[in-house]
Amino acid sequence: MKDDLTRRDVVKIAGAAAAMAGPLIRTARADTNAVQFGIIGTGSRGTYLLKHLAKIDAGRCVAMCDIDNDQLDKAQKTIGGSPKRFKDYRELLAQKDVEAVIVTTPLFLHFPITKDALLSGKHVFCEKSLVFRPEEVHALRALKAEHPKQVLQTGLQRRYSKFYQTAKDMVDKGVLGKVTAMHCQWHRNMVNTPSALWTAKPGGEGNLKNWRLYRKYSGGLVAELTSHQVDVADWMFGTGPELVMGWGSIDLVNDGRDVYDNVQLIYRYPGKRQMTYSSVSCNQHSPLFGSSRPQMGEMIMGTDGTLHLTVGDDTNPAICWWYREPPKATTVEKTDKSKKENYVAGATMVAGGASRPVPLLFDDLALTGKESFLDKEVKFARRWLYSKGVMVQEEARNPVDTELESFFQNVRDGGTPRANIEVGLADSVAVILSNQAMDEGRKVYFNEIEKGSPAKGKAKNT
């Protein structure tokens, strides 16, 4: 078998593999040990999670709550069965058969609902950003300490992605050299392609459907988007930032919102490391992955290499591309001809610029020697296609499925989530202080949160 296949070979092998795969057979749901859960807030995210939960046997939805009947109808259709329906979340929490709750309400309600759920003896999966106000950081930490046996997980799904875990391993094992910088972006075009969630509905601040657009309820782009990526930076650097500074303004979307539509931030991490961050609303272009994917991604930069990374969802696969840096130039000694040549070669590589990216491949593509002839051929074919950039390797599972299954597993085993309370609180602190840095136009130190930093500024039209 040659390593370099022709396209005809590839098509032939792929066709044969598809024919062998046969129809998908779904097993009946029969997990008697399933965690009985209720969901609070069945809007966009709640329904998305229910779509995934419908295929997860380790949990069974027995109750749902939303103040809006239409949202409950949609949610019930998504999950099926006959969960009990509530308009007041406290009634759901009073149900004895509910062991765990999934909180997918607007941000300002995360803390009061999570608090009441812990006090009712429930395990909690709460979407990011975990809490909204500085005082909630301290209050939730104290409350959780009083309820050590209850699981509290934050919905930061990148922590459950195989691609991101591989990136973390590469950073920790020094594959990228000394990693001192990251750049992350989440850009959207809110003018040409406004998203329903970010479009103002009538009623302004008085209409809770507009919760994302007002600082009374929301942390704006920082809470909704940056929170995912500053968490990735914390994870990669192995610590939270020391300080944040930035610029935020409302430049384009003048619909009455008081959250910024333009966010530019610099986070300084211990050990002379930093993450720069951008979220604009005028344009969705991304220079990552050869511009093959718009909007969002993270770039991790080390002395020996760079990773471009983005998460997958139901439509788009996760991607991780690895670029190598030129090797370290050796010292030139004029008298030693061979060393001089080395130096010139190194300099040429630097001047030549970028290396070609290598897509990250997982162990499912490694040859074990035990596979059938056809399996081996398929692995070669897939490697070839990935290496040529014809295909991107898909994450074996959507990390949303993994985070939810992991939650149920922890409820049963008493394990600690990867996105545990401290991960969630550190992320919330970053959200709170980033908005404060932009509001006040100054460097904000992370230890200010201990002083109960107010962070109640409002975006101004600048």
Ligand X SMILES: NC(=O)c1ccc[n+]([C@@H]2O[C@H](COP(=O)([O-])OP(=O)(O)OC[C@H]3O[C@@H](n4cnc5c(N)ncnc54)[C@H](O)[C@@H]3O)[C@@H](O)[C@H]2O)c1
Binding segment (CB under 6 A) for ligand X, from list 9-17, 43-51, 260-268, 427-435: 43-51
Query: Measured between alpha carbons, how far is residue 293 from residues 91, 247, 281, 296 in Å?
Result: 44, 26, 16, 8
Nearer to ligand X, 12 or 209 (CB): 209
**Rg (Cα) of the chain, in Å, rounded?**
24
Question: Does residue 42 belong to the site contacting ligand X (CB under 6 A)?
Answer: yes
Q: Which of residues 110-149 bind ligand X (CB under 6 A)?
A: 127-128
Nearer to ligand X, 156 or 171 (CB): 156
Q: What is the DSSP letter of 450?
A: G
Strands 243-249 and 444-445: antiparallel
Shortest distance in whole angstroms from residue 209 CB to ligand X: 6
Return the bridge partners of 269, or none: 273
Question: Does residue 93 belong to the site contacting ligand X (CB under 6 A)?
Answer: no
Shortest distance in whole angstroms from residue 429 CB to ligand X: 16
Q: Which of residues 13-32 bind ligand X (CB under 6 A)?
A: none
The closest of 218, 48, 213 to 129, measured between CA atoms, is 218
Q: How many residues interact with ligand X (rule CB under 6 A)?
A: 25
Question: Does residue 159 belong to the site contacting ligand X (CB under 6 A)?
Answer: no
First to last CA, the chain: 63
Question: Does residue 403 belong to the site contacting ligand X (CB under 6 A)?
Answer: no
Nearer to ligand X, 86 or 322 (CB): 86
Binding segment (CB under 6 A) for ligand X, from list 13-21, 42-50, 170-178, 352-360: 42-50
Question: Does residue 402 belong to the site contacting ligand X (CB under 6 A)?
Answer: no
Query: Measured between alpha carbons, how far is residue 183 from residues 232, 307, 366, 433 in Å?
Result: 11, 10, 31, 19
Question: Does residue 380 belong to the site contacting ligand X (CB under 6 A)?
Answer: no
Q: Which of residues 247-306 bind ligand X (CB under 6 A)?
A: none
Dihedral in degrees, nearest 10, Cα atoms 445, 447, 450, 451:
-40
Binding segment (CB under 6 A) for ligand X, from list 36-44, 259-267, 283-291, 418-426: 36-44
Binding segment (CB under 6 A) for ligand X, from list 62-70, 241-249, 340-348, 439-447: 62-70
The closest of 274, 266, 264 to 239, measured between CA atoms, is 274
Q: Which long-range CB contacts under 8 A does 4-10 form with residues at least 24 apart? A: 4/384, 5/380, 5/381, 5/384, 9/381, 10/381, 10/384, 10/385
Shortest distance in whole angstroms from residue 41 CB to ligand X: 3
- Site residues for ligand X per CB under 6 A: 40-46, 65-68, 71, 89, 104-107, 109, 127-128, 155, 157, 197, 208, 224
